[in-house]
Amino acid sequence: MEPEKIDFYNLGFEFIETKEMYISNYKNSEWDEGKIVPFGPIEISPGACVLNYGQGIFEGMKALEAKTGDIVLFRPDKNADRLNESAKRLLMPSFDKEKFIETVKEVVKANKEYVPPYDSGGALYIRPLLIGSGPILGVAPAEEYKFIIFTVPVGPYFPEGFKAIDLEISKQYTRAAPGGTGDAKTCCNYAGTMLPAKETKAKGFAQIIYLDASNLEYIDEVGTANFFAIINGKLATPALKGTILPGITRSSVLTLAEEKMGMEVEERDISYKELFKDKCTEAFCTGTAAVITPIGSVTIEDKKRIFNEGQPGELTTKLYELLTSIQRLEIEDEYGWIIKL
Ligand code: PLP
Ligand code: COI
């Protein structure tokens, strides 16, 4: 879509075509130089491993216009590392970290008219995508791959914006099992969450909180975001045990809570039952798309717990302001998290 036709002040999280994308091909055990080309369809064999056996991984990042007018990225080195970790799990080739960061910058520059203005609160979402494009019949890794980076201007992931969302804790569906691929950002992890999401939305919830697949007791995550709660005044989040995506926002929030807000933080098993006790005072979820989204209530079967009368909690709001003001360079970036284009 032409950038002039986009209402940057009213964006949701929907696909909008931008001008340019990056594509690199992997063949004979090496990546080619790659190039920026006009956004458009790619040709792929119907026998491609990604189409038949789901050998695909991706990343999610944002380019923001900062208060200073700079266009900035948030910790892109961490996305490069995670892409390569996911690649390892799916037997896919890695992509050079420095080249990843440089290429992301190039793609954003090529689409810079699509970066929403600072005061809109929007972002240019960046989607690096690595797929097994070579044909294969037996279940085995492809011999050829494509690495693509495209961008989409976005507003908030949950249409509520920085308002509290209502979540359902599912005893019916799980997202990832021990030993599976829950901690890799593979396309398949998302396909299985569409039916649960559709069903829960029909009941009026924004999303599902998934419990651990072994016990249906401990919180894993939200399916597109990591989970946090304030319990006994401490910031608690599920420990990374292979079934949860190691979120970059998650790790940043843990650092900020501990070092900037003087909070005690805990990475541990959190029983969903703890959320129904008075000692749990706030809950929220984090992600590139979700940023920090307050949780107004959680429901399991016929039991509902409302936090803070359904309003964003005080500590949740402080963390949100702290994180987003670093991301938009409204305050000093003392951790060196922000990379200017
Ligand atoms: N969990 C899942 C399943 C996700 O898709 C995401 C989003 O990327 C997250 C958690 C949050 O990760 P991050 O903060 O790195 O975006
Ligand atoms: C992200 O936060 O970047 C995600 O990947 C979540 C979702 C849009 C898949």
Q: Whose CA is nearest to atom 2 of ligand 1?
A: 224
Determine the distance from the C-alpha atom of residue 87 to the mean position of all C-alpha atoms in its chain, rounded to a whole number: 17
CATH number at residue 254: 3.20.10.10
Q: Is the dihedral of CA 284, 158, 220, 202 positive or negative?
A: positive
- pLDDT given at position 208: 97
**Mutate which of 62, 125, 157 to test ligand 2's pocket (most atoms within 8 Å of Cβ)?**
157
Joined tokens for residue 188:
């398949």
In the reported structure, the alpha carbon of residue 224 is separated from the centroid of ligand 1 by a whole-number distance in angstroms of 5
Q: Which DSSP string do the residues of 166-211 spell out, in sequence order?
A: EEEE-SS--S--TTSSTTS-BHHHHHTTHHHHHHHHHTT-SEEEEE
Quick check: is 35 in a domain?
A: yes
Q: Is 257 in the pocket of ligand 1 (CB under 6 A)?
A: no
CA-to-CA distance for 270 and 89, rounded, in angstroms?
Answer: 26
Model pLDDT, residue 5: 94
φ and ψ of 209, to 5 deg: -95, 120
Is 339 among the domain residues?
Answer: no
Cβ of 197 less than 6 Å from ligand 2? no
| Residue whose CA lies nearest to ligand 1 atom number 12 | 247
Amino acid identity of residue 1, one-letter, is M
Question: If you take atom 11 of ligand 1, which residue's CA is the nearest one?
Answer: 287
In a domain, 159, yes or no: no
CATH number of the domain encompassing residue 10: 3.30.470.10
Asked, for residue 321, whether it belongs to a domain, the answer is yes
Q: Are residues 173 and 143 in the same domain?
A: no
Is any atom of ligand 1 closer than 6 Å to the C-beta of 237? Answer: no
Residue tagged 């843990």 (tokens): 254
Cα–ligand 2 centroid distance for 323 (angstroms): 18
Q: What is the DSSP string of 204-235?
A: T-SEEEEEPTTTS-BEEE-SSSEEEEEETTEE
| Shortest-distance atom of ligand 2 to CA 125 | 3
Closest CA to 228 of 183, 267, 184: 267
The answer to whether residues 132 and 56 touch, using CB atoms and an 8 Å cutoff, is: yes
pLDDT value at residue 38? 98
Displacement of CA 192 from its chain's centroid (Å)? 16
Whole-angstrom Cα distance, residue 312 to residue 277?
18
Number of domains in the chain: 2
Residue 158: per-residue pLDDT: 74
Catalytic residues: 185
Residue 118 sits in the same domain as residue 200: no
Report the 10 Å Cβ neighbour count for 178. 11
Cβ contacts of 187 within 8 Å, gap of 6 or more: 50, 54, 56, 57, 58
Same domain, 279 and 310: yes
Range of the domain at 218: 165-327
CA distances from 169 to 207, 300, 330 (A): 9, 5, 36
The bound ligand whose nearest atom lies closest to the alpha carbon of 248 is 1
Pairing of strands 291-300, 165-169: parallel
Q: How far apart are CA 43 and CA 135, in angstroms?
A: 12
> If 0-12 CB within 10 Å is exposed, 13-18 middle and 19+ buried, where does residue 65 land?
buried
- 148 and 176 belong to one structural domain: no
33: in domain: yes
Residue corresponding to tokens 């045990």? 241
Claim to verify: residue 220 and residue 316 sit in the same structural domain: yes
Distances (CA, A) of 247 to 92, 220, 340: 21, 12, 21
Nearest CA to ligand 1 atom 1: 225
Q: Is residue 338 part of a domain?
A: no
- Does the beta carbon of 249 lie inside 6 Å of ligand 1? yes
Please give the number of the atom of ligand 2 that sits closest to the Cα of 249.
2
Instruction: Indicate if 264 and 142 belong to the same structural domain.
Output: no
HSE-CB for 109 with a 13 A CA cutoff:
9
167 lines ligand 1 (CB under 6 A): no
Ligand 1 centroid–CA 138 distance in Å is 31
Distance 279 CA to ligand 2 centre (A): 30
| 128, 154, 180 - which closes a domain | 154
Ligand 1 touching residue 327 (CB < 6 A) = no
Q: Cα(first)–Cα(last) distance of the chain, in Å? A: 23
Closest CA to 311 of 165, 110, 130, 117: 165
In a domain, 197, yes or no: yes
Shortest-distance Cα residue to atom 7 of ligand 2: 224
Report the nearest atom of ligand 1 relative to the CA of 61: 16
If asked whether residues 214 and 98 sit together in one domain, one would say no
Domain boundary among the residues 92, 123, 154 is at 154
Domain shared by 16 and 88, yes or no? yes
How many whole angstroms from 118 Cα to the centroid of ligand 2?
A: 21
The verdict on 198 and 268 lying in the same domain is yes
Write the DSSP symbol of residue 212: P
Domain boundary among 154, 180, 215: 154
Q: Are residues 132 and 207 in the same domain?
A: no
Q: What is the residue-level pLDDT of the chain in tens, covering all 341 positions?
A: 899 999 999 999 999 999 999 999 999 999 999 999 999 999 999 999 999 999 999 999 999 999 999 999 999 999 999 999 999 999 999 999 999 999 999 999 999 999 999 999 999 999 999 999 999 999 999 999 999 999 999 997 876 678 999 999 999 999 999 999 999 999 999 999 999 999 999 999 999 999 999 999 999 999 899 999 999 999 999 999 999 999 999 999 999 999 999 999 999 999 999 999 999 999 999 999 999 999 999 999 999 999 999 999 999 999 999 999 999 999 999 999 999 99
Domain presence at residue 341: no
Please check whether residues 125 and 229 belong to one and the same domain: no
Q: Same structural domain for residues 76 and 189? A: no
> Residues, the chain, total?
341
Expressed in angstroms and rounded, the spacing between residue 240 Cα and the centre of ligand 1 is 13
Rounded to whole angstroms, the Cα distance separating 72 from 75 reads: 10
What distances in angstroms separate CA 335 from CA 255, 316, 324, 339, one per listed residue? Answer: 10, 21, 14, 11
pLDDT of res. 333: 96
